[in-house]
Amino acid sequence: MSPLSQNTLCCGDCIQSVLPLNNRVNQNLKTVMSQAKTQRDLRERKPWQQSCASKCLLPVRPMPKQDTFDAYVEPLLISREPRLCAYLARLNEFRKWVLTEVDAQANYTDRYALPALETYDRSGSVANRVVVNPLYDTQHQEIYRRGAVGLPYTEAAPHLLSFTMGFLLSQADISLHCPVTLTGAVAYVLGFHASKDMREKYLHQLTRTDACTMTGGTWVTELHGGSDVGATTTTAVPQGGHFALHGLKWFTSNANSSLAIATARPQGAEPGTAGLGLYLVPSHLEDGSSNRYVIRRLKDKLGTKGLPTGEIELLGAEALEIAGPPHGFRFMMAALEYSRVHNAVGAVGVQRRALREAMEWAKSRRAFGHRLVEYPMVQDELLGIRVRFEAGALLAFEAALTFDAAIEDTKKGTWLRLVTALAKYLTAEDAIRASRATLELVGSNGYTSDFPIARIYRDAQVLTVWEGPANIQALELLRLLAPRYRGAVEYEHRVRRIIDCLPDAMSSLRRALDSRLQADLAAIAFVIADDARSQRYARKLLDRLSHSFAFALMCETAAHCHSNGDERRVLTATRYYEQLDEPKIGAEDERVRRSAFELLED
């Protein structure tokens, strides 16, 4: 980024870029400095001091005392991946940083410091410069310095660590979680699918932890849409040792990335996905000049406003071939699989944040002489958010754990794709549901930007769109359930193993899960038996199986906790099942009601 311009405000010790400048800033900031500090000055400082944020409009919020990065998620993950134990202190510190400094930056950027595009410099040459809040930029690099992308490559940490950091990061700023995800996706493709020469030249640039990391992008979506990748019109023309790309990528998140991967069709290649290659596109050439593409404009979006998302016109952009047809599409799908897992854990992070906001409000707000949390209807709403968070967390991290397992054993690839489709769908839907419910609970205050839930709710909307909406996940599910992939068999075996492990003390849940599985198998057989039915019922089947498998995982967790004398997870599994198969009014399990406060506290 170039040195800061005069359109830069400083509040006390901090620098806040406000391009375009918002008139409301002057009413809320205490001090406007006449001279801006340079980008070099900014980089010499620590990433956002708390004293700085306390002087800005939205102060850093106090953190509740907690010795774990997440009281529910942490013990579940370390029981299945002991290697994560070595990073618990780091994760706890990351959580504290995210929920204080990153959260304050996210609120400020969303309101006052949106990205701005400088397509050309003053001499008329292409600049493709995206100007962002310097604190957004600094925190972006700080995330890489903390190893969110690099540790699986530099220390052989499980990718689960990266996904867990994404879960924490999304609780404050999806606009930062997205580019970190994309950088990780490009690194994954280069690390596992690129040639040795390409890997040695570029992988380090994406995984370094010295705050000089190159960031990544995945350029797939074109004007005709993002899901029909086989209709890609971008062409790749060979030119000596590289390719020249021509075309328009319509929706590119992290538009100012340094290294992007893009789908394109070489001249003469067959139509459809089989004719696609995958190419690495650097933002700058070896001589330091800008590559031959133009960021036409930045999108004006509903949410994730701090994230620069643009239209990129490829004008013979120099690119290196990662894989030619027919492998290009498959390798891009590997990148999207990585991103879908991040999308799922990020959505669970939104649910966790919504639950936290709802609980804090309900415990502190009084109405009609009582705290909101004391009212049964409010308790029901809070319990609903809570049990759906638990279900989503189990489903998303099942995908995250399977991601590492599939690297070691490629036979697990089908299960990875299947559980990722289920997780991506359900967690995105429930993130929106949780944030909407929290906004309603907070009321008119929640509808304003003075409270963070309005931003969280707007940002959550993108989670159903990114990396394939529900219909695309449903089509993926149909492919995997077909005899070729034997996904239905794997699904049945996984759930039956859970049923067989449930103790007699959980007999009611065991019967419920067994009944649910029988209905699932009947639904699968009905839907995949006929193409017309498949097209009509695929999304309903996706919805059913995602809820069923989330319930199965809750039962599995409840059995483990029950063996250790903890009955709370049995109660939350029971409440979740009551949401799937709603009992008659008055017939709910009263044990859940009596234990409401205990279930909500952690």
What is the mean predicted confidence (pLDDT) over 256-266?
A: 97
292 in the same domain as 400: no
81 phi, psi to nearest 5 deg: -135, 85
Residue 246 half-sphere exposure toward CB, CA atoms < 13 A:
8
333 in any annotated domain: no
- By C-alpha distance, which of 579, 591, 600 is closest to 358? 600
Beta-carbon count within 10 A of 41 CB = 13
Instruction: State yes or no: pLDDT of 2 exceeds 70.
Output: no
pLDDT at site 62: 55
- By C-alpha distance, which of 443, 578, 595, 562 is closest to 512? 578
d(CA 253, CA 256): 8
Beta strand 370-371 with 259-266 is unpaired
Count, residues in the chain: 602
pLDDT tens string 536-590: 999 999 999 999 999 999 999 999 999 999 999 999 999 999 999 999 998 888 8
255 in the same domain as 179: no
- Would you call 126 helix, strand, or coil by DSSP? strand
pLDDT tens string 442-491: 999 999 999 999 999 999 999 999 999 999 999 999 999 999 999 999 99
94 in the same domain as 180: yes
Distances (CA, A) of 551 to 20, 79, 489, 574: 47, 19, 18, 9
Instruction: State yes or no: pLDDT of 3 exceeds 80.
Output: no
Between 51 and 232, the higher pLDDT residue: 232
- Whether the pTM exceeds 0.75: the reply is yes
DSSP string, 290-325: BPSEEEEEE---SS-TTS-EEEEEEEEEEEEEEE-T
d(CA 43, CA 45): 5
336 in any annotated domain: no
Instruction: State yes or no: pLDDT of 355 exceeds 70.
Output: yes
192 phi, psi to nearest 5 deg: -120, -15
pLDDT tens string 490-499: 999 999 999 9
Contact partners, residue 344, CB within 8 Å, separation at least 6: 392, 395, 396, 399, 400, 420, 423, 424, 427, 428
> What's the domain count of the chain?
3
- By C-alpha distance, which of 352, 348, 507, 531 is closest to 423? 348
- By C-alpha distance, which of 422, 238, 424, 447 is closest to 347? 424
331 in any annotated domain: no
What is the mean predicted confidence (pLDDT) over 297-312?
A: 97
Map tokens 């620098």 to a residue.
15
pLDDT at site 594: 80
277 in any annotated domain: yes
pLDDT at site 61: 52
517 in any annotated domain: yes
Domain containing 503: what range?
342-601
Residue-averaged pLDDT of the chain: 89
What is the mean predicted confidence (pLDDT) over 313-342?
A: 97
- By C-alpha distance, which of 143, 134, 275, 280 is closest to 207? 143
415 in the same domain as 288: no
In one-letter notation, the amino acid at residue 596 is: A
Task: Give me the long-range contacts of 595-601 (CB less than 8 A, separation at least 24).
Answer: 595/568, 595/571, 596/379, 596/382, 596/383, 597/373, 598/568, 599/383, 599/386, 599/568, 599/571, 599/572, 600/359, 600/373, 600/379, 600/382, 600/383, 600/386
CATH number of the domain residue 510 falls in: 1.20.140.10
Instruction: State yes or no: pLDDT of 48 exceeds 50.
Output: no
Res. 417 pLDDT band, cuts 50 70 90: very high
Instruction: State yes or no: pLDDT of 12 exceeds 90.
Output: no
2 in any annotated domain: no
**Cβ 432 vs Cβ 302: under 8 Å:** no
320 phi, psi to nearest 5 deg: -105, 140
569 alpha-carbon distance from chain centroid: 26
Instruction: State yes or no: pLDDT of 199 exceeds 80.
Output: yes
Between 588 and 49, the higher pLDDT residue: 588
pLDDT at site 1: 34
b/e 297-309 (16+ beta carbons within 10 angstroms → b): ebbebebbbbbbb
Domain boundary among 325, 352, 369: 325
199 in the same domain as 221: no
pLDDT tens string 86-144: 999 999 999 999 999 999 999 999 999 999 999 888 999 888 899 999 999 999 999 99
Map tokens 């995250």 to a residue.
400
